[in-house]
Amino acid sequence: MERNIGLMDPRYNDDVDKITGYRTDTLLCMPIHNADDEVVAVAQVINKAGAQEGFSKEDEKLLGTYLTFCGIAIHNAQIFEAYSKEYERNKALLEVVHDLFEEQTSVENVILKIMQRAQSLLKCERCSVLLRDGSSETSFKKVFDLAYPLRNGQNCQRRRLLTPTSPDLRNSSFFRSNPAFVFTSSDNMSNYQLGNKIAELVLVTGETINIADAHQDSRFDPNSDGESGFHTRSILCKPIRNRDNQTIGVAQVMNRIDGHSFDDHDDQLFEAFTIFCGLGINNCLLYEEIAVASAKQMVALEVLSYHGTVTAEDVVKLKSRKVADADDWKLDSFNFNDFSLTSDDMLLAAVRIFKDLGFKRTFRIDTEMLCRWILTVRKNYRNVAYHNWRHAFNVCQFMFATLKMSGVRRHISDKESLALVVACLCHDLDHRGTNNAFQQKTSSALAQLYGTKATLEHHHFNHAVMILNSESHNIFGNFNSEEYSEVINLLKDAILATDLSRHIQVRDKFFAMVDSGMKNWDDRESRDILRSILMTTCDVAAITKPWEIQRKVADLVMTEFFDQGDKERNELKIQPQACMDREKQDELPKLQLGWIDGICLPLYKALSNLDASFKPLFDGVLKNRSCWEVLDAERLAKDAAMHTEV
């Protein structure tokens, strides 16, 4: 305690008086103690009125008594403030728990809610969550950033979505501007600027980083603030761990709104949020696993309820029948009549194809097992208008003719040829008569199981593997583990190649190879492209057949399309595409011309340039195009006549 300090006292600094313009003559200064006799504050009174000698002993006693009550009041206020903070903290954490139980279907939604809670309670300008890429120790696969920029003193939230391929993202810092980002990519996110690299450091070390002044810390890159206009002051960054205590991501907050750095209370609170974030992510992943498992079960039950296994009597019967020569059925002809064989004859013809290509001998395939496998494959095709057992066999027959009549077989191995033939027979297994887009529109079990890309093709492949894994069906059984893995991968690539969107992706490369006069197709990439092109060649080969066959196939395709269009109009209440709209069936010639010009002519022209034996196919497409052109002209003339009458 000091009293009666004034201008003449050497301990007094008169700079304050100079600033305030107030003259200090006497001063009484005393400490304020709390209940534990700790000094929590200091009080001072200046210039006692009406007393020349300054403050007396009685003044000191009176002020001391008063400050005792002040100490109690300050102590109580501090307790209340701590209680209020704890109450708000517990309330926020309870709300986070509520959010976790309310939302378990989306990782993005869970993280966003937790970030909003954290940012609100910690009162910071930015909150971010970065999820680790499981294939890398130092990179991220998803990044979420939430910011509340200040505008005229008011907080306002904005969000937008950027993809990792966005040019402005590639050239920018990690936190580029104010909105909330969500990146999703299988690319290595470390290829993009991730700002100050502090997040990566926390990911690697698993340790918390708390920086009071970012621009004074060597780990912070000031350029990360350069483009965005966002000024980073303080950073609190923590690891996110899963239930096994493995670091699965990083969470960080930046810039307390009051300008202070993050203290111990913030650290503890943010620690709780990272724990809940880990729990939320874990719950969502478990939910996704359960959803996938449920979808698998639904698909399996659906398949089992429709399909069965062939009987031993059926196998014996097929095995005992005489297999005619390929010439008797014209199997090695590109002009094979797709409707010339019965369903049972196609079984025998498939056996003949395996024999004549040398597969039974080369790969030691047992005849009884081959018969059982072919019978089961047929049984696993549904009774739909076009994508049925007959279509599968016709595609296989065309592949047989291609391997026998052209020179492409010298570019691919026997194992690749086997995979192609098997893929042709299996490429539409369990087809439901509806396309991939329909699976997505109806959120079918297949769409839930396989996702949005090549939904049906993935199902066809998995169904083929299921048959191979059935007892006494594995025609690849004599391969060693390495060879078996190779042929399964070849089978998968071949079946997925029948997805037209995949064909669009590879055909330009094929066209460029052919145009360059390329003769050597021995490298892996070239053979992969060639096999993919051959699958599409055989899958759409009906367009090359004589007109009678082509027209009949087109009618079957349109029957299937119209059935899907009816479902879309009547069940989904949406307008079907023109090619599936029964009310626009008179436009079939126009649609066929678009199909021929867009897909078929470029494909078969390139094939004929590659190998002269494919020239008849290109000529067949041109002849059929002329026929469709005539029908389209008749349609236009009819429409014109009707318009004239009106």
**What whole-number distance in Å separates Cα of residue 200 and Cα of residue 196?**
9
- Count of CB atoms situated within 10 Å of the CB of 80: 10
Query: Could you tell me where the beta strands, DSSP code E, fall in 206-292?
Result: 209-211, 235-241, 247-256
One-letter amino acid identity for 223?
A: N
Residue pLDDT, tens place only, 432-453: 999 999 999 998 989 988 887 8
Task: Name the 3-class secondary structure at 143.
Answer: strand
**What whole-number distance in Å separates Cα of residue 146 and Cα of residue 129?**
9
DSSP assignment string, 156-219:
--BB----TT-HHHHTS-SS-SSSBEEEE-SS-GGGS--TTSHHHHHHHH---EEES-GGGSTT
pLDDT given for residue 287 in this prediction: 79
Give me 47's structure tokens. 């210039």
pLDDT given for residue 160 in this prediction: 34
Q: Domains along the chain?
A: 2-81 (3.30.450.40), 104-284 (3.30.450.40), 307-533 (1.10.1300.10), 540-646 (no CATH)
pLDDT given for residue 210 in this prediction: 93
The answer to whether residues 351 and 374 touch, using CB atoms and an 8 Å cutoff, is yes
pLDDT given for residue 10 in this prediction: 64
**What whole-number distance in Å separates Cα of residue 57 and Cα of residue 68?**
17
Q: Which residues does the chain have with pLDDT short of 50?
A: 149-195
Residues with catalytic roles: 387
Residue pLDDT, tens place only, 42-83: 988 888 887 777 888 888 889 889 998 898 888 888 888 877
Task: Name the 3-class secondary structure at 11.
Answer: coil
Burial degree of 576 (CB within 10 A; 0-12, 13-18, 19+): buried
Q: Which residues contact 557 (CB under 8 A, 6 or more apart)?
A: 385, 386
What is the dihedral sign for C-alpha 101, 104, 106, 107?
Answer: positive
pLDDT given for residue 529 in this prediction: 96
pTM of structure:
0.61
Closest of 536, 539, 614, 546 to residue 340, by C-alpha? 546
